Chains A and B, each alone.
Chain A
Amino acid sequence: DAGVTQSPTHLIKTRGQQVTLRCSPKSGHDTVSWYQQALGQGPQFIFQYYEEEERQRGNFPDRFSGHQFPNYSSELNVNALLLGDSALYLCASSQFRDSHFSGNTIYFGEGSWLTVV
């Protein structure tokens, strides 16, 4: 049973460029969320996708956008990269119909390390 998979693992971009990160959810999961984790901090929620729509969004600018495909996989796009966007980007998956149930576990991938120079 494949867990949450993310690509690429590491990448380096220049200020002003654009980046796309990819995520495949755990088998049986239909909801994907993205988190940004700056060095020395806890992850911060960016947004959540279900049924190819953004359902929830954290306090991130419009430069951060996403997409979910019919197979539930997802992409995170960041435009006009800033030095402050350097972080570990984590993808998490879960099952939407169980979201209000106690015990609905959220699983994470290994993350994509983004460095902006």
Chain B
Amino acid sequence: AQKITQTQPGMFVQEKEAVTLDCTYDTSDPSYGLFWYKQPSSGEMIFLIYQGSYDQQNATEGRYSLNFQKARKSANLVISASQLGDSAMYFCAMRGLSFGNEKLTFGTGTRLTIIP
């Protein structure tokens, strides 16, 4: 079984500041992938960044980086230089890397609000 925990229901951040969204996970899968998605009020789930459990380096995608600490089972999302358009729900998710397994397990999400 897999479990994702996001302990920050909501966060308020000043524009241009960096923000860290917390995510911890639990799984019995030896190999797994961790995802972060952004969900605006429109509902679409927008893929942001991915980290594989055997990847040696932390993933980065533009202003997004994933702080992966395998021993602590954490996969925090860092957004640098936040913008007003970053205001949305953010979900951490994971899946086991086995053939045919496409099931994602999601956390409860963090609502991020960027203040001008």
Do the two chains bind? yes
Residues of A with Cβ closer than 8 Å to B?
31, 33, 35, 40-45, 48, 50, 55-56, 58, 88, 90, 92, 94, 96, 99-111, 113
3 residue pairs, one from A and one from B, having the closest CB atoms: A102-B52, A42-B106, A108-B45
B44 touches A102 (CB 8 A): no
B108 touches A42 (CB 8 A): yes
B108 touches A110 (CB 8 A): no
Residues of B with Cβ closer than 8 Å to A?
4, 31, 33, 35, 37, 42-47, 50, 52-55, 91, 93, 95, 97-109
Q: List 23 A-B contacts (CB under 8 A).
A: A33-B104, A41-B108, A42-B109, A43-B106, A44-B106, A48-B103, A56-B101, A58-B103, A88-B43, A92-B45, A92-B102, A96-B100, A96-B102, A101-B97, A102-B33, A102-B52, A102-B54, A102-B97, A105-B47, A106-B35, A107-B47, A108-B47, A109-B44
CB distance from A108 to the nearest CB of B (A): 4
CB distance from A9 to the nearest CB of B (A): 9
CB distance from A58 to the nearest CB of B (A): 7
Cβ–Cβ < 8 Å partners of A110 in chain B: 42-44
Cβ–Cβ < 8 Å partners of B4 in chain A: 42
Q: Given A40-B108, A43-B91, A92-B102, 12 more contacts at CB 8 Å?
A: A31-B102, A55-B100, A56-B101, A56-B103, A58-B103, A92-B45, A96-B100, A100-B99, A101-B97, A102-B54, A105-B50, A111-B45
